[in-house]
Amino acid sequence: MLAAGRVVLDPGSFISDLIGAPNRGVVSYTRMHHWSNKLDVFMMATENGPGVEGVKVSPQGTRQEVPKGAPARPAAASRRLLTKKAKLCLAAALAIVLVLVVREVSVRVINSDRTPEAAVREYVQLISDGKYEAASKLVNPDENYSECKMLSNKTFSGVKGAVKFDSINSFKYDENSNSATVNVVISVNGRFMESELRLQLSKTRRGINNWKVISPLLVNVVFQGHPYLYSYKIGSVVLDVGYTEYVGYGSSISCAMYPGVYNIEGQSVNPEYVEINSVGKQFVAVAMQHGSTDSESDFYASFEFNKHFTVKPTEKLKTWALPQIQSRIKSCASISYPRKDNSCPVQTWSSDYINVKALEVKALPTALYSVAYVNGTSLIAARADAVIRVTTAESTGTSGQEISETKDFYYNAVGIVDFDKERQPVLKWSI
């Protein structure tokens, strides 16, 4: 474009020249193709400004040399004054074009940062910061996932940065539904985990992309129950594992949790009798490595009680257990006791000893042999040694004379510590 003998490169300064030159007699030739495509403005000459003799502007906007000696075009025929209204219309048209161009460029720049990866990064960052409730608002988990209430900020251990976005190793886009499926890889306290996430694409009226994660990034953690465990405490959230009154493992429960590092405490069924202490290990909620033959295992992790806690009987339990065992030994040595009970010495009830005439405790324990937690059974066994005297009588010969025999039998009494519905200790017996 030429104006007053110079090439105008800047549209803004060009418009200023146009508007501000009523006294300079600016003459222009303007041709506008469709304003959304191309606008060519050609300026010629000024009456008062520098001349442009020797330069001819063609309708196509190219410069042509005027042959020397050719008659000059009459000034009146070659110049038309640009009215103020025309100047304003021209400026407005050019401004519209500039706005459209700027808008298109702006949308492309904005969309370059609004990618599926960016949406996943934002989601993972909320999880990493322990903003679990914000993550749940961003990606609403299924109601079944939240029944344990483990997706609360109250479960956060305070360890930020334990969860980190690593990469997206696959991306599948469905044009029909404007949705995508990605396999995202994250690290949780240095352990890698891969999970499949779904995203949905929507666009604003201006064409700006809005990618939204629509499937939650969760780990299903199976919490093991335990005979002496009443509940777990994750952060400040209490998880009841369903204590049941029987000797053996308590029931287990599966809870959805965000990947991360958690502080978990075990609450004893009755801390007066049994202590449950943490070994100082934080639990890392991370799914099993991707590629397991069992596809469901990719989504599960197990919280194993014995890896994170120790069980210790208290002095009160030891004091309580001794008279319980003594009473049991006395019962086994009672002739009126229904002795067909394999927790009592076999000599007191076996058919081989049907002629038992007398039973008595020869030696009653005054102290427990041991009270200890047995890892293999996950139970506390209280042991004490006793001696039971057994007298038998048999008839011999034709006279029917009775021959008596007295023997002492060693008895290792073993009581298994259990708790009833009121969470009070009871002993169950074993040989």
Q: Which pLDDT score, from 0 to 100, does residue 391 have?
A: 86
388 pLDDT higher than 60: yes
User: CB neighbours of 44 closer than 8 A, spacing ≥ 6?
Assistant: 2, 27, 28, 29, 52, 57, 78, 79
| Nearest of 212, 196, 120, 200 to residue 164 by alpha carbon | 120
Kindly state whether residues 345 and 397 are assigned to the same domain: yes
Same domain, 263 and 219: yes
**From 174-188, 195-209, 288-302, the region with the lowest mean pLDDT:** 288-302
- Do both 382 and 420 map to the same domain? yes
Give tens-digit pLDDT for 61-105: 445 555 555 555 555 444 566 687 777 787 777 777 776 666 665
Q: Do 158 and 296 lie in a common domain?
A: yes
Q: CA 58, CA 179: separation in Å to the nearest integer? A: 53
pLDDT of 410 over the 70 cut: yes
Give the confidence band of 44 by pLDDT, cuts at 50, 70, 90: very low
Q: What is the mean pLDDT of the chain?
A: 76
Euclidean distance between the first and the last CA atom of the chain, given in angstroms as a whole number? 108
- pLDDT grade, residue 356 (50/70/90)? confident
Last residue of one domain, picked from the residues 64, 81, 112: 112
Residues 137 and 210 in one domain: yes
pLDDT at 152 over 50: yes
Kindly list the distances between the CA atom of residue 49 and the CA atoms of 9, 24, 52, 345, 396, in Å, as whole numbers in the listed order: 19, 7, 9, 128, 153
Same domain, 153 and 237: yes
pLDDT in tens, 203-246: 766 767 788 999 999 999 999 888 899 999 999 999 987 665 44
What number of CA atoms fall less than 13 Å from residue 266's CA on the CB side? Answer: 32
Query: What does the block give as tokens for 105?
Result: 């460029």
pLDDT at residue 255 tops 50: yes
Q: Which among 371, 281, 357, 275 is positioned nearest to 319, based on CA atoms?
A: 371
Residues 6+ apart with CB under 8 A from 297: 288
Residues 385 and 426 in one domain: yes
Q: Which residue has the higher pLDDT, 199 or 396?
A: 199
Q: Domain limits at 149?
A: 114-312
pTM over 0.75: no
Q: Tell whether 24 and 46 lie within a shared domain.
A: yes
Q: What total number of domains does the chain contain?
A: 3
CATH number for the domain that contains residue 350 = 3.10.450
- 300 falls in which pLDDT band (50, 70, 90)? confident
146 — pLDDT class (breaks 50, 70, 90)? low
- Distance (Å, rounded) from C-alpha 28 to C-alpha 77? 13
Do 166 and 273 share a domain, yes or no?
yes
| Cβ atoms of 29 and 1 closer than 8 Å | no
* 3-class secondary structure, 224: coil
Q: Which of 81, 112, 143 is the last residue of a domain?
A: 112
Most confident by average pLDDT, 38-42, 168-172, 313-317: 313-317
DSSP-H helix ranges across 5-155: 11-19, 75-78, 84-113, 116-128, 132-138
Look at residue 326 in the predicted model and tell me its pLDDT.
Answer: 94
pLDDT value at residue 45: 38
Q: Which of 86-95, 130-139, 310-319 has the lowest mean pLDDT?
A: 86-95
Do 126 and 188 reside in the same domain of the chain?
A: yes
- Is residue 95 domain-shared with residue 30, that is, in the same domain? yes
DSSP 378-414: TEEEEEEEEEEEEEEEEEETTTTEEEEEEEEEEEEEE
The count of C-alpha atoms lying within 13 angstroms of the C-alpha of 64, restricted to the half-sphere facing its C-beta, is 9
Based on the fold, state whether residues 71 and 33 are members of the same structural domain: yes
Q: Which of 277, 294, 312 is the last residue of a domain?
A: 312
